Chain A
Amino acid sequence: MADTPSAPLRLIEIEPDGGWCDAETGICTSTAPEPEADAHTGVFTRSREARSLHR
């Protein structure tokens, strides 16, 4: 099992040719997780550096 990072993860937004399967709904979509929803977890923080990875 992975160790829990001591600092919050920085989130990278996925591009349109990616997707995921939502655990709550079970639906697999090409739509990336909503940034606002992620922020609500209180775990992820976003940074310009991370966002810039897909630009």
Chain B
Amino acid sequence: MTSPRLTIDMWADVLCPWCYVGERRLSAAVARSPHAADIELRIHTWQLDPNVPTQVTWIPEYRVAKFGVTPAQARAMENGVAGEAAADGLPYVLDRPVRNTLDMLRLVHLGNEHGVGLQYMSAMHAELFGGNPDTFEHDTLIRLGEELGIPADEIRDVLATDRYADAVQADHDAAVTLGARGVPFTVLGERLGIPGTASARQYTDAINQAWEQING
């Protein structure tokens, strides 16, 4: 792509189930657009909960501890998004691992430097919500990055340092400045904001409207 005629910015976290659903819907809407070749979809990071432990635990147990609910209630908290994922044909495992995502988000920024940040987060989402218990393992993150063309030594270097931690914070601050209070958060053409996951049709309508406003 030379110079995109419409830029779409999406903020997301790997742990965020609605980001998983929303990114797939938005990416599909962009791909379906007659202007797809002139649209750039950029991923930005937002760490939903920096206090998530750095050791792997499991989503139901994590929610029981965090929210003081029963295991059954913890699972029921995801009924809505699990149903939407299923309706979209996306795998969605309720009993999946959870861990602090700062390392993953830093890697997304490395991915952005290689032009594959969106694909890197999408691959992480697929592993996590597809039920891979080793999603957070470095070997998994290296494999996913390598599959996208990112050299393994660069990934190891990021994991061994705090590189891109400032970029994660900067992305967060930018979203807050725009008024975001959660994720996913999407901005089209720096004009339209979508706080949350829209329907596939809404994303298409928003793309069309932003395109018309900018290029019409």
Contact = CB atoms under 8 A, between A and B. Distances in A.
A4 B184 CA distance: 17
A17 interface: yes
Per DSSP, chain A at the interface is loop
Nearest to A47: B192
Interface in B194-212: 194-199, 202, 205-206, 209
A11 B16 contact: no
Per DSSP, chain B at the interface is mixed
B192 A10 contact: yes
Contacts of B182: 20-24, 33
A30 B80 contact: yes
B32 interface: no
A24 B193 contact: no
Interface in A1-55: 1-7, 9-12, 14-15, 17-24, 26-30, 32-33, 37-38, 41-44, 49-50, 53-54
A52 B81 CA distance: 24
B16 A28 contact: yes
A23 B193 contact: no
B179 interface: yes
A11 B193 CA distance: 5
